[in-house]
Structure 1
Amino acid sequence: MTLTYTQVWVLILGCAALTALIKAFGPVLLGGRELPTWFTRVIVLMAPTLLCALVVTSVLASGRSWSVGAHTVGVAVAGVMLWRRWPLVLCVVVAVVVTAGLRAI
């Protein structure tokens, strides 16, 4: 299915309007009341979960299929280094070098 230029912009504007509407519901419905503690614990965990899903999809997806390649190994190396509390810049540099090295082979 191919969308026209106008359809793409209508879709973008519709998504932006829907996002603004969804974000407005929180303050309107709560009206300054405190959230229950169980709800706050769930909300706090949503951002890391969504970030993890984005990383996994970006690393493992190749078109419409799943694949493991040099980029996957590079991200895994950076993830382990970050887990071991290495500096972020060093992790990125090592991941780039590992990925480039594996692609060169």
Structure 2
Amino acid sequence: MMVWAAIAVTAFGCYAMKLLGLSVPAAVLERPLVRRVAALVPIAALAALIALQTFADGHTLALDARAAGLAAAVVALLLRAPFLVVVAAAVVVTAAVRALTG
């Protein structure tokens, strides 16, 4: 029963947040600072997700093949490689490091 209560509370919370976002006046949304922050929030969220998926292993910090793959992707990005090349480089390096270590 607690699971359904948690689902209902979460659904209501999501709906309330959506409604709150829709009720913000247009004058507030057109301010330069708000526009800059709104443009940077998805980038920060994606960076946080990447960091968690790369360096976290449960409750511990891990430096393994995922970090090597991320480093390869960063190098490919710095060389201005196309997106598919960036992804392929990360995959190949991660697989190679995992194969070598074990």
| Residue among 62, 66, 73 paired with 1:71 | 66
State the TM-score, normalizing by the size of structure 2: 0.77
Distance across 1 between alignment mates of 2:99 and 2:67: 15
Identity within the alignment, %: 26
Provide the TM-score with structure 1 as the length reference: 0.75
User: Would the alpha carbon gap of residues 59 and 18 (structure 1) be closer, same or farther in structure 2, given more than 3 Å must change?
Assistant: farther
Count of equivalent residues: 99
CA RMSD, 1 decimal:
2.3
- The C-alpha deviation readout for 1:32-57, integer Å capped at 9, x for no partner, is 33622233223222221221111111
Structure 2: tracts of 5 or more residues without a match = none
Please say which of residues 61-70 and 4-13 is displaced more in the overlay: 4-13
CA distance in 1 between partners of 2:32 and 2:70 (Å): 35
Candidates 38, 41, 50, aligned match of 1:46: 41
**Structure 2 CA distance for aligned equivalents of residues 44 and 22 of structure 1:** 19
**Divergent runs of 4+, >6 A:** none
Quote the Cα distance in structure 2 between the aligned partners of 1:10 and 1:95.
40
